[in-house]
Structure 1
Amino acid sequence: MKKVLIITYYWPPAGGPGVQRWLKFVKYLREFDIEPLVYIPENPDYPIVDKSLLDDIPKGITILKKRIFEPYFLAKFFSKKETSTISSGIIKEAKTQNLLQKLFLYIRGNFFIPDARKFWIKPSVKFLTGYISVNNIDTIITTGPPHSLHLIGLGLKKKLEIKWLADFRDPWTEIGYHKKLKLSTSAEAKHLFLEKEVLTSADQIITTSFSTQKEFQQKTEKPISVITNGYDPSLEFSSELDQKFTLSHIGSLLSGRNPINLWKVLQELISEDKEFSTDLVLNLVGTVSDDVLKSIKEHNLGGNLELPGYVSHYKANNIQQTSQVLLLVEINSFETKGIIPGKLFEYMASKRPILALGPKDWDVKNILAETNSGTYFGYHEEASLKQHIQSLYKQYKKQELSVNSLNTEKYSRRNLTGDLAKLLKE
C-alpha cells in the first residue's frame, strides 16, 4: 500500500472548516489503497475546539507530532481577545481599528512571513527528513493556510527525492485579508517570492476553486487540479423542520461579510407583514463580528436574531437539516470570487434551499446552478432578493418549502478522495 505523509496544522480537536478537508480525506484514503500518515503540531493554539471531530479519526492512523512555538501565546499577555480575533481571521475595517489592533496587524504582516507558524518550518524539515528516509515515504502533501506549511514541503523537496503536492484551501497573496496586514514593500515582495517558489517547486498544485486555479496558472506551469471541499455521505438527515421561518448561517460572519441588502430587505418585510415578523428567525451560528451585529440591529432585526455561538460539527449538521433556509455569505470583493466555503457542500447534503450572497462572478454561483440547490444574489440586488424571500416564505407557509438538488454525488467526500487518489498514483 502506498504511503503518503500529510502535513497539516489543523487536526482534531481543532474545530472549524479548516480541519475537516484533510480529516475526511484521511478517513477514506485507505479505500483507495493509500495509507495516510499525518504530521501535526504537538501544542497548537487552535482558536476553535471541537472534540466531536476526534471520533472521525480512523483507527490505527500514524500521527506524528512535534512542538511548535506559537507567538500568539505571547501576544495574549497583551490582549487575549484581540489575539484570538486576528488568529481567527476576523479583521476589522481600518477606520474602526484601535491602536492595539493596528499594531498587532503590522507585526503579524511584517515580522511573521508568511504567517505566525513560521517557527515550525526548520525543526519540521529536520525531523521529517530523517523520518521520510527511514520509512520509505515517496509522497508528501502540505495544506495551507497557514502557508508556512508549504515552506516545510519546499524544504523537504530541496533535500529529498520526493513527490510533493501543495494543497491551497485558500489563496495566498490574493486572499481578502492579505491587504489588511499593513505590509511594507519588502514584506509584500517576500510574500510574492515565497508564493512563487512554492508554486514552481511543487510537483502538483491543488486548489479548492476554479478562480484560484486560474490565478495560479498565471504564476506557474506546474499542473493545477481543482478538488473542492465536500460533504460526508454518512450524514444522518432529520425529517422535522423548524416551526419558525429560520434563515440560518453556519460559520463565522466577518466584518466584510455584511450583506446590508439582506438586512434591508428583511427590515422591509417585517415592517410590511406582521405575520412574517412573527415567523422570521435569523439564526447566526458561530462567531459574528461587532460590525455585522450593529448592522442587523440598525435594521430593527434584533428581535428576530438568535446567536447560539460556536457549536459542534454534529450540532451544526442538525441545524442545517432542520432550518427552513440556509444562508451562505462571502465578502464582496474581487479577491473572494474564488472562495468556495466548505459549508456549501454540507448545506447541499442537508437538502435545504440555499440563499447565497457574494461577489460578482463567484464560483459558488455556478455550483448552485449546476446542482439546483439554491439561488445567488449580488450585494447590490434588493428587488429580486426581496421577491425571492417572499416566494420562499409563501412556500414555507404552505409547508412546501424544499429543494430538488441534482448532481451532488460528485461532491461527496468519498468521491473527492478518489480524485485525490488518482493524483497520488500518477
Structure 2
Amino acid sequence: MQKVLLITYYWPPSGGAGVQRWLKLTKYLGMHGVKPYVLTVDEAHASYMQEDHSLLQDVGEDVKVYKTKSFEPINYYAKLVGKDKVPTAGFSNVDNTKWSQKMVNAIRSNLFVPDPRRGWNHYAYKKAVEIITKEQIEVVITTSPPHSTQLLGLKLQKKLNIKWIADLRDPWTDIYYYELLGHSFFSKKLDAYWEKQVVKHADKIITVSQSLKNIFFTKDNSIDEAKIYIVPNGFDPEDFEGSEKKPHHGFVIGYTGTMSDKYNPLPFFDSLQTIVKQFDNIDIKLQIVGRISKAIQQYISNLDVEFELINTVPHSQIVQYQKDADLLLLVIPDIPSADSILTGKLFEYIATGNKIIGIGPAQSEVADILEKCELGQMFDRNNREGMATYIENIIHAYLQNKKNKANRVEIEKYSRAYQAQHIRDIICELLNT
C-alpha cells in the first residue's frame, strides 16, 4: 500500500468549500491501495472563516491526522475588529471602497506573501519531516489555497528529495479578486516568483479545470504540460444518500454559498421578477443559503420577489437545501477570466438531479458540463429574455409534475469515489518514474 502525506490548511472542523475536496478524496483513497496521512493546523490556532463540526464524521477511519500550532496574524486582527469584518473569499462581506479596508488589504498582501497563513509553515515543516521519516511516506501532496501551503512541498522536495504533487484548486496570481489585495510592485513580483517556483518544480500538478491547466502551464517555458492533470471538484455520493426531497409550498429557486458584488447577479433577479409577475397561480421564492454582499441583498429586497436569506449552515444541511430546491441558481463572477471558473458547488448541484440555471459565459467549461449531464444551461448576463424563458419552462414542467431527465453516466464521473481512482493512478505513475 502506497503511503502519502496530504498537507492541507483546511480540514474539519473547518467549514466551507475548501475543505471538501480532500476530506472526501482521502475517504475513498484507502479503497484503492493508498494510505493517506494528513497534516493540518490545530483548530485552536487556526484562522478559519467558518467552522462545521459535522464534517468530522466524514474523516475516513483509516486516515491518520496530525495537527500543529500556528502563528496567525488574522486572529489578532479579528479580535480588534470582529470576525465578521475579516474578508472572506471574494471579499463578499466587506466594503472595499473604504480606505480603511484598502489599507488592511495592502498590509496583508505586502507583509505576508503569498498570504497571512504562511505563519503555519514553520510548525508544519518540522512536523512533516517527522511524519515522513516515521511513517516512511513516499509522496507528499500539498493543496491550496492558501497557496503558502505549496511552499511546504517546495521545501520538502528540496530538503528530502521526496516526490511532490501540488494540488492547485484555485488560480494564484490570476484569481478574480487579485487586484483587491493591494499588492505593491515588489510584493506582486514576489508572489509571482513563488507561484512560478511551485509549478516549475512540482513533480506533478493537479488542478480542477482545463482553463486552470492552461493558466499554470504558461507560467514557465520549462513546464511539461504532461505533468499537469485535471481532477475536477466533485461530490460525495454518500452525502446524497438516505434523504429525500422534502415537500414544500410553491416553487423554490435555491442558491448556496457566497456571492460578492463581483458576481453581478442583478440581470438574473430582473428576469426573475418578470417571471413572478407572469405566474399568479404559484408562489415563487428565491432562497439563498450563505453569505451575500449588502448591495445584492438590498437590490433583491427592493424587488417584488419573495426572498429568504439563511445564514451559513452545516454542510449536511446545505445538501438538503440543494435537494429541496426546484431550480438551482449558479452564478459565475463577472470577470474577464470567467470562462475558466469551475466552482465546486456545480458538482453538488449536479448530484441532486435538479435543474440548474447558470449565469455567466454561455461558452465555458461549466456550460459544457451542464449540457453533457443534461441538467441545465448557462446564460450570458445580457440574455435576460433567455433566462426568463428558461425559468418559465422549468415552472411549467414543475406544474405538470414532469420528472427531470439526466445523464447519470456522465454525472458519475464527478463522484469522489470515481475521482479517487484517478488520484491513485497519478500517484502510481509518479512512483514508477
TM-score range, shorter chain: over 0.9
1:325–1:91 CA distance, 2 compared to 1 (3 A): closer
1:203–1:105 CA distance, 2 compared to 1 (3 A): same
Separation in 1 of the partners of 2:85 and 2:77?
6
Separation in 2 of the partners of 1:92 and 1:414?
34
Matching of residue 265 in structure 1 with residue 271 in structure 2:
yes
Q: Which residue of 1 aligns with 2:18?
A: 18
Matching of residue 423 in structure 1 with residue 429 in structure 2:
no
Gap regions ≥5 residues in structure 1: none
Deviation, structure 1 residue 114: 0.4
Q: How does 1:151-166 map to 2 (within 5 A)?
A: 151-166=151-166
Separation in 2 of the partners of 1:72 and 1:231?
30
Deviation, structure 1 residue 315: 1.1
Is 1:334–1:359's contact at 8 Å kept on the other side of the alignment?
no
Is 2:361–2:378's contact at 8 Å kept on the other side of the alignment?
no
1:88–1:384 CA distance, 2 compared to 1 (3 A): closer
Gap regions ≥5 residues in structure 2: none
Residues 161-218 of structure 1, C-alpha deviations (whole Å, 9 max, x = no match) = 2110000110101111111111111111111111000000100011111100111111
Q: Tell me which amino acid in the other structure corresponds to 1:28.
A: Y
Separation in 1 of the partners of 2:154 and 2:5?
14
Deviation, structure 1 residue 124: 2.1
Matching of residue 128 in structure 1 with residue 132 in structure 2:
no
Deviation, structure 1 residue 132: 1.3
Q: Tell me which amino acid in the other structure corresponds to 1:180.
A: L
Q: Which residue of 2 aligns with 1:294?
A: 298
User: TM-score normalised to the size of structure 1?
Assistant: 0.94
Deviation, structure 1 residue 299: 3.0
Q: 1:413 aligns with which of 413, 416, 426?
A: 416
Q: How does 1:84-163 map to 2 (within 5 A)?
A: 84=86, 86-91=87-92, 97-163=97-163
Deviation, structure 1 residue 343: 1.4
Q: Which residue of 1 aligns with 2:208?
A: 208
Separation in 2 of the partners of 1:285 and 1:339?
21
Q: 2:379 aligns with which of 377, 380, 385?
A: 377
Separation in 2 of the partners of 1:380 and 1:147?
35
Q: Which residue of 1 aligns with 2:287?
A: 283
Q: Tell me which amino acid in the other structure corresponds to 2:413.
A: K
Deviation, structure 1 residue 39: 0.2
More displaced stretch, 43-52 vs 160-169: 43-52
Separation in 2 of the partners of 1:59 and 1:130?
22
Separation in 1 of the partners of 2:427 and 2:197?
21
Deviation, structure 1 residue 135: 2.5
1:232–1:77 CA distance, 2 compared to 1 (3 A): closer
Is 1:7–1:142's contact at 8 Å kept on the other side of the alignment?
yes
Deviation, structure 1 residue 61: 2.2
More displaced stretch, 29-38 vs 214-223: 214-223
Separation in 2 of the partners of 1:274 and 1:350?
28
Q: How does 1:307-318 map to 2 (within 5 A)?
A: 307-318=309-320
User: TM-score normalised to the size of structure 2?
Assistant: 0.93
More displaced stretch, 264-273 vs 10-19: 264-273
Is 1:241–1:323's contact at 8 Å kept on the other side of the alignment?
no
Deviation, structure 1 residue 123: 2.9
Q: Which residue of 1 aligns with 2:168?
A: 168
SS at match of 2:413: helix
Deviation, structure 1 residue 239: 4.4
Deviation, structure 1 residue 118: 1.1
Separation in 1 of the partners of 2:262 and 2:426?
35
Q: Which residue of 1 aligns with 2:347?
A: 345
1:312–1:82 CA distance, 2 compared to 1 (3 A): closer
RMSD (Å), alpha carbons = 1.8
Is 2:374–2:407's contact at 8 Å kept on the other side of the alignment?
yes
Deviation, structure 1 residue 401: 5.4
Q: Which residue of 2 aligns with 1:48?
A: 50
Is 2:5–2:38's contact at 8 Å kept on the other side of the alignment?
yes
SS at match of 1:174: coil
Deviation, structure 1 residue 360: 5.5
Is 1:7–1:38's contact at 8 Å kept on the other side of the alignment?
yes
Separation in 2 of the partners of 1:358 and 1:93?
23
SS at match of 2:23: helix
SS at match of 1:293: helix
Is 1:72–1:83's contact at 8 Å kept on the other side of the alignment?
no
Q: Tell me which amino acid in the other structure corresponds to 1:392.
A: I
Deviation, structure 1 residue 354: 0.7
Deviation, structure 1 residue 361: 3.7
SS at match of 1:356: strand
Q: Which residue of 1 aligns with 2:244?
A: 238
Separation in 2 of the partners of 1:81 and 1:137?
37
SS at match of 2:113: coil
Separation in 1 of the partners of 2:145 and 2:75?
19
Q: 2:261 aligns with which of 243, 255, 260?
A: 255
1:290–1:365 CA distance, 2 compared to 1 (3 A): same
Q: Which residue of 2 aligns with 1:393?
A: 395
Separation in 2 of the partners of 1:305 and 1:239?
20
Deviation, structure 1 residue 362: 3.0
Separation in 1 of the partners of 2:36 and 2:203?
19
Separation in 2 of the partners of 1:335 and 1:199?
20
Is 2:291–2:311's contact at 8 Å kept on the other side of the alignment?
yes
SS at match of 1:256: helix
Separation in 2 of the partners of 1:78 and 1:206?
38
Aligned-residue identity in percent:
34
